[in-house]
Structure 1
Amino acid sequence: MKVLTVCGLGMGTSLILKMNVESILKDNNVKANIEHMDVSAANSTDADLIVTSNELAGNLEGHKAKLVVIKNFFDKEEIIAALKEAAII
């Protein structure tokens, strides 16, 4: 599975989100290739899953990837709940 973690500039928060998603998926034995990037790059990148904020989700409408929206990129429990709701873990 290819996963994108997306923030506005593709630097700090998407990297933190990437590390958290990577850890959660690994703990749940889900194999994934995870990349972090900005919203513009994500629009033109093929993926199975995109994890991003509510503010950026609208910019990714029309992407074929399943979209998971997170409010707090630092809250692992929220990320786990969102991935469970999306049937990823």
Structure 2
Amino acid sequence: MKILTVCGMGVGSSIILKMNVEKALRSLGVTADVEVADIGTARGAAAGADLVVTSGELAPQLGELKAKIVVIDNLVNVDLIARALEAALSEAR
């Protein structure tokens, strides 16, 4: 499984989100490759992704993607991230 975390510039917040997505996945017992991207390169980078995790303000800018978009409003709350990921993964099954 490949997960892409997206922020506006592809630095700071997407790296924090990547680390917290990895923590959330560990708590769920899910193995995935988690990568970061900025909003400008996210559409291309998402081509091979199963999930794209981003903020509510950036999600509409991604347009239509093959990957499921998971909106996270609190990038540092690992429990909320885990619940959102768990819901997205259960929908994919």
- TM-score if structure 2 supplies the norm length? 0.87
Q: CA RMSD in A?
A: 1.2
State percent identity of aligned pairs. Answer: 50
- TM-score if structure 1 supplies the norm length? 0.91
Q: What count of residue pairs does the alignment treat as equivalent?
A: 88
1:26 matched to 2:26:
yes
| Cα distance, 1:85 vs structure 2 | 2.0
Which residues of 2 match residues 1-89 of structure 1 at below 5 A? 1-45=1-45, 46=47, 47-87=49-89
**Structure 2 unaligned blocks of 5 or more:** none
1:44 is paired with a residue whose SS is helix
Q: Hey, which of these two has a bigger chunk of helix by percent?
A: 2
| Cα distance, 1:29 vs structure 2 | 1.9
AA at the equivalent of 2:9? L
**Structure 1 unaligned blocks of 5 or more:** none
| Cα distance, 1:37 vs structure 2 | 1.2
